[in-house]
Amino acid sequence: MTGFDRVVMPAVLVALAACDDAGIDPMTRITAPRVLAITTEPSALSLDGELALTALTVDPDGPRIGIGGSTSIDGRPVDAMRMRACAPWKFITDPTRDCVGDDALPLELDAAGRAVTSAAELATAFPSPPGVPAPPDPWRAALAAGLKLRVPIIAEVDVDGQTLIARRDVDVVETTVQRQNPRLAEIRFDGMSTGTLRAGQRYVLTATIDRTSLDEVPDAEPLGALENVVCNFYSPAGEISEAEVSVVDPDALVPETTPNTYTAGLPGTTWLFVIATDETGGMSLTSVRLTIE
């Protein structure tokens, strides 16, 4: 899990399967379909803006792209998907109980599994807490009063006979606040960007971040300091020593994570999935196809 608590990483309700007498598979091992992230563009919802959301599902054979029966996208789609926004003042413990009825706004999905909503649409659906009169422009009034608005997003993904549930909390910000997602630039094995590895060999695994995608830390001392980023690593095969590593120096010309290690498994084709998350909820995911020789 990411070290930042501004975003709730997907709570995918799937059990980890036992792998040997020592116990269960590590959390970095992809053994079945899993929703690794709900990404948004941009990373926060401006009061006058829109937000595009995508639930990213993977399995041992790679990314699952699109929704079956409604997509012409060349890929391996999921069977079905539903996504809804929840009232920002409702405490969500159980999504199936706490984000329903008037506390939920179903979002329309396209064939690629992408939903688009806006602050205006959400403010109309959730103008104020129950029993509290809604002032004109209630969300702007709430932010002006110093209140934090954070909209929980729930995704339900039907894939291979099971339903996966994931959650993402999205900040609502003033129009003047601009936030972006940290972009993964390269995934490096022993300092090189490559998709071909040798079976059984251990590699130093790092990720680099596009420095221009990093925002300044709000109210930082010193002023101008860039947000920290953590990266989470997952793969169906091979061994990853650390589930999460941090970027060493966000202010570096090419910010790079501290060294992780990846030990390649048996010959064949596999994947590496990497999620980058910054301090204010920005998130991106990249999938790297690996050939093990």
Which has the higher per-residue pLDDT, 90 or 168? 168
Q: Which two tokens stand for residue 149?
A: 């608005």
Q: Which whole-number Å values give the CA distances from 132 to 50, 102, 135, in the listed order? A: 26, 15, 9
pLDDT digits over 225-246, tens only? 899 999 999 999 999 999 999 9
73 pLDDT band, cuts 50/70/90, is: low
Q: How far apart are CA 226 and CA 176, in angstroms?
A: 18
The chain-wide mean pLDDT, for the chain, equals 88
Q: Please name each of the domains of the chain with its CATH number.
A: 32-178 (2.60.40.1940), 180-293 (2.60.40.1080)
pLDDT value at residue 24: 63
Closest CA to 167 of 86, 59, 286: 86
Residue of 32 and 13 predicted with greater confidence: 32
Alpha carbons 228 and 208: distance in angstroms, whole number: 13
Q: Report the 10 Å Cβ neighbour count for 234.
A: 21
High-pLDDT (> 90) share of the chain, %: 72
What's the confidence (pLDDT) of residue 208?
Answer: 97
Query: The tokens 């159980």 sit on which residue?
Result: 94
Sheet order of strands, 149-159 included: 45-46, 162-173, 149-159, 80-86, 104-107
HEC secondary structure over 229-274: EEEEEEECCCEECCCEEEECCCCCCCCEECCEEEECCCCEEEEEEE
Question: For 140-165, what is each residue's pLDDT tens digit?
Answer: 888 888 888 999 999 999 999 999 99
| Whether the predicted model's global pTM rises above the 0.85 cut | yes
